């Protein structure tokens, strides 16, 4: 029997349907609340509000579970490749070998970026942050692809997906090449997606370039771990922008901007800067723990805490292990890793952190690996964006296929009541 919630408001009693998901999470469906009572709900930060139903990612913050399309993140990180996981997220099933090869070939049809995009890049100062440039360039792609994709046409939708995956990687690396003053590289269609990331970033015209397979494998895993995370700030932004029927590039450009903030994807850069600061300051982690707990100090322990995970972030566990392995294999001895481990150990037994359920999140160790792999700090959040791209695409596609209405929250007005106009001039 389906469950019902009863709500009494202003002396009026109404019944509201309860929706149950496939993992038994429950939601009170308030769709008719305003029509029936004149009331709305108020939930800043959406801590209790579901914005949609979704078949893409399942997350249990209490148990530390993360699954894409039913597959555990642990299995995917160990056994699958990033293009395979991208296909899974976007189309719902793991690809066969033939489907994966076809997907790869179809992406490669779009790996050339219009040369005129270079004029746009030239307009940015070299000091511009790569995330700002990436958001602008992604939006600029709409100018070169003005036709809005017809989401009901499977072929058109598929082509738009392949195009987005191809071009986003190239322009993401161009943001770095620009800051370095290097010539912009082209995608090499004889190589794989992650290998291409490396050559697009680091190949110089002055000599040959071969990506280190250890680094390519580590990046592949990192991209998988960032693939999707249900209705977080940037993904909700992509869905919200897309709900007005804005195109895929425009919606993803907005997602990049949302991801940039230090409370979201920008945390990976902030973590590394924080660890460097602690190192420079003499490595006294207790001092910074005390700062993080001091309510009069705005300092927060970056890479700690999560809106949803309240016991541990499964991605952080995988990344911590990978960080140890990669640093060992590459023979990197980074004092920053020791500081990170010391901070983590201290926080795990500290009353302030334990009582607020603050644990290391995905960003805590990712910057340490990126640094060991030679990725510049300013590019860390761009790495997150490359990994998150298939998730954004999958969520955008699902939102349009489900014919979701335009996102338009309400508010409770707390400003002046009507007042008579009297000029202050």
Q: Which listed range, 58-66, 247-255, 324-332, 358-366, lies at the site for ligand CMC (CB under 6 A)?
A: 358-366
Tell me how far, at minimum, the Cβ of 353 lies from ligand CMC, in Å: 7
CB 58 within 8 A of CB 67: yes
Nearest to 72 by CA among 212, 225, 293, 179: 225
Q: How far is the CB of 122 from ligand CMC (least distance, A)?
A: 32
Three-state secondary structure readout of the chain: CCCEEEEEECCEEEEEEEEECCCCCEEECCCCHHHHHCCCCCCHHHCCCCCCCCCCEEEECCCCEEEECCEEHHHHHHHCCHHHHHHHHHHCCCCCHHHHHHHHHHHHCCCCCCCCHHHHHHCCCCCCCHHHHHHHHHHHHHHHCCCCCCCCCHHHHHHHHHHHHHHHHHHHHHHHHHHHCCCCCCCCCCCCHHHHHHHHHHCCCCCCCCCCHHHHHHHHHHHHHCCCCCCCHHHHHHHHHHCCCCCHHHHHHHHHHHHHCCCCCCHHHHHHHHHHHHHHCCCCHHHHHHHHHCCCCCCCCCCECCCCCCCCCHHHHHHHHHHHHHHHHHCCCCHHHHHHHHHHHHHHCCHHHHHCCCCECHHHHHHHHHHHCCCCHHHHHHHHHHHHHHHHHHHHHHHHHCCCCCCCCCCCCCCCCCCCCCCCC
Nearer to ligand CMC, 112 or 345 (CB): 345
Q: Which of 108, 110, 264, 397 binds ligand CMC (CB under 6 A)?
A: 264
**Binding-site residue total for ligand CMC (CB under 6 A)?**
20
Q: Which of 242, 196, 234 is nearest to 384 (CA)?
A: 234
Report in angstroms the alpha-carbon separations of 67 from 33, 70, 283. Answer: 32, 5, 37
267 in contact with ligand CMC (CB under 6 A): yes
Is the Cα torsion angle 86, 87, 92, 93 positive or negative in sign?
Answer: negative
* Residue 263 is a binding residue for ligand CMC (CB under 6 A): yes
Q: How far is the CB of 267 from ligand CMC (least distance, A)?
A: 3
Q: Which of 64, 95, 227, 303 binds ligand CMC (CB under 6 A)?
A: 303
Q: At its nearest, how many Å lie between ligand CMC and the CB of residue 95?
A: 26
Member of 302, 372, 389, 399 binding ligand CMC (CB under 6 A): 302
In this complex, which beta carbon is closest to ligand CMC, that of residue 144 or of residue 299? 299
Given 110, 163, 167, 306, the residue binding ligand CMC (CB under 6 A): 306
Q: Clarify whether 363 is annotated catalytic.
A: yes
CB of 345 to ligand CMC, least distance (A): 16
Pick between residue 236 and residue 243 the one whose CB is nearest to ligand CMC. 236
Scanning 8-16, 21-29, 130-138, 294-302 for contacts with ligand CMC by CB under 6 A, the matching segment is 294-302
Binding to ligand CMC in span 327-356, by CB under 6 A: 356
306 is catalytic: yes
Interaction mask 93-122, ligand CMC, x per CB under 6 A: ------------------------------
Binding mask 212-251 for ligand CMC (x = CB under 6 A): -----------------x--x-------------------
Distances (CA, A) of 104 to 140, 166, 306, 369, 394: 24, 10, 34, 27, 17
- Tell me if 359 contacts ligand CMC by CB under 6 A: no
Nearer CB in complex with ligand CMC: 222/292: 292
Which entry of 110, 229, 306, 313 is annotated as an active-site residue?
306
Question: Binder to ligand CMC among 64, 265, 314, 387 (CB under 6 A)?
Answer: 265
Q: Among the candidate windows 29-37, 319-327, 361-369, 385-393, which touches ligand CMC by CB under 6 A? A: 361-369
Of the residues 229, 363, 378, 416, only one is catalytic, namely: 363
Residue closer to ligand CMC, measured from CB, 227 or 303: 303
Q: Which of 165, 343, 358, 368 binds ligand CMC (CB under 6 A)?
A: 358
Residues forming contacts to ligand CMC in the complex (CB under 6 A) are 229, 232, 263-265, 267, 292, 300-307, 356, 358, 361-363
Active site residues: 306, 363
């Amino acid at each position: 029997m389906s469950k019902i919630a009863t709500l009494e408001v202003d002396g009026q009693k109404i019944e509201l349907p309860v929706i149950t998901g496939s993992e038994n999470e429950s939601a009170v469906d308030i769709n008719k609340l305003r029509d029936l009572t004149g009331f709305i709900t108020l939930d800043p930060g959406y801590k209790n509000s579901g914005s949609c139903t979704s078949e893409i990612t399942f997350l249990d913050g209490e148990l530390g579970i993360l699954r894409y399309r039913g597959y555990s993140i642990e299995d995917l990180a160990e056994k699958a490749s990033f293009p395979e996981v991208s296909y899974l997220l976007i189309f719902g099933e793991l690809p066969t070998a033939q489907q994966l090869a076809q997907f790869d070939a179809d992406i490669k049809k779009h790996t050339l970026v219009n040369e005129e995009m270079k004029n746009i890049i030239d307009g940015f100062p070299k000091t511009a942050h790569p995330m700002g440039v990436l958001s602008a360039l992604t939006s600029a792609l709409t100018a070169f692809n003005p036709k809005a994709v017809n989401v009901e046409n499977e072929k058109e939708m598929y082509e738009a997906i392949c195009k987005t995956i191809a071009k986003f990687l190239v322009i993401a690396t161009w943001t770095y090449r620009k800051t370095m003053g290097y010539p912009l590289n082209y995608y090499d269609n004889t190589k794989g997606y992650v290998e291409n990331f490396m050559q697009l970033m680091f190949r110089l015209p002055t000599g040959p370039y071969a990506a280190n397979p250890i680094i390519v494998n580590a990046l592949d895993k990192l991209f998988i771990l960032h693939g999707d995370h249900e209705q977080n700030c940037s993904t909700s932004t992509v869905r919200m922008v897309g709900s007005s029927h804005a195109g895929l590039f425009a919606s993803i450009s907005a997602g990049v901007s949302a991801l940039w903030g230090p409370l979201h994807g920008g945390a990976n850069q902030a973590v590394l800067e924080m660890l460097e600061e602690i190192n420079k300051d003499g490595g006294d982690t207790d001092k910074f723990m005390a700062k993080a707990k001091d309510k009069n100090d705005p300092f927060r322990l970056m890479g700690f805490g999560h809106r949803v995970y309240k016991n541990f972030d499964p991605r952080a566990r995988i990344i911590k292990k990978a960080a140890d392995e990669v640093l060992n294999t590459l023979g990197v001895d980074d004092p920053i890793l020791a500081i990170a481990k010391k901070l983590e150990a201290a926080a795990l037994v500290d009353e302030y952190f334990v009582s607020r359920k603050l644990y290391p999140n995905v960003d805590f160790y990712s910057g340490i690996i990126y640094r060991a792999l030679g990725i510049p700090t300013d590019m860390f959040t761009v790495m997150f964006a490359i990994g998150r791209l298939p998730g954004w695409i999958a969520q955008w596609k699902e939102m349009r296929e489900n014919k979701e209405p335009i996102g338009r929250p309400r508010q409770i007005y707390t400003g002046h009541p009507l007042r008579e106009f009297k000029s202050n001039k």
